[in-house]
Amino acid sequence: MPLFKKQPPPTVSPERLYRSTPVVTPSIQYEEDSKGIVTILIPVKEGDKVVRTLKVKLDAIGSKVWKKIDGKTSFNEICQWMKNEFMITEKEAEVSLSMFIKSLADKRLVALVLPPPKPGTAEVIEEIERIRFEMRELEKAYKKRRVDEKTYKEVKASYEEALKELENLEKPKD
């Protein structure tokens, strides 16, 4: 058993996940065959140059759901669509969609745009923890030279700014 377990990323409350919107990472493209099956095209870069493209083929269900991830349709709306399209219950839609999005997010193909946390609620603390976690991940990526200095500084600054705003939200209003 490892002495130091890798800390899992902070979770998002189901309530907030429901209000979020999944978006495809801008550099990701996809192609669709005559049967509607989607193949995701992932560019592999060396510096600024794309050296090859990885292909991930989805199944019939994944393809249909992928096409719904347009950056405008919320998690909740996709769930409702899945309910009718596949004749499943809300719970089944929620669990299936969150698992699908998690698998895509782990590969950095998709990200979740979370709604702002409700001031004075546990959502603020949850968001602070999430940003701190992302900052630590960014730091690691920079040290391993997976992120260039310019991007590192820009992203770090935006995280710090977000943290300041959140810390203000956390404080009880007079």
Binding site for other proteins (CB under 8 A): 13-15, 59-61, 64, 83, 86-92, 95-96
44 vs 61, which CB is nearer to other proteins?
Answer: 61
Strand order from edge to edge, sheet including 38-46: 29-32, 38-46, 49-57
Closest separation in Å from C-beta 61 to other proteins: 5
114 vs 138, which CB is nearer to other proteins?
Answer: 114
Closest separation in Å from C-beta 130 to other proteins: 18
Evaluate whether 89 touches 83 at the Cβ level (below 8 Å). yes
Q: Write the DSSP assignment of 97-144 as a string of letters.
A: HHHHHHHHHHTTSEEEEPPPPPTTSHHHHHHHHHHHHHHHHHHHHHHT
Closest separation in Å from C-beta 121 to other proteins: 11
Determine the Cα–Cα distance for residues 132 and 37; give it in Å rounded to an integer: 38
56 vs 141, which CB is nearer to other proteins?
Answer: 56
Closest separation in Å from C-beta 88 to other proteins: 5
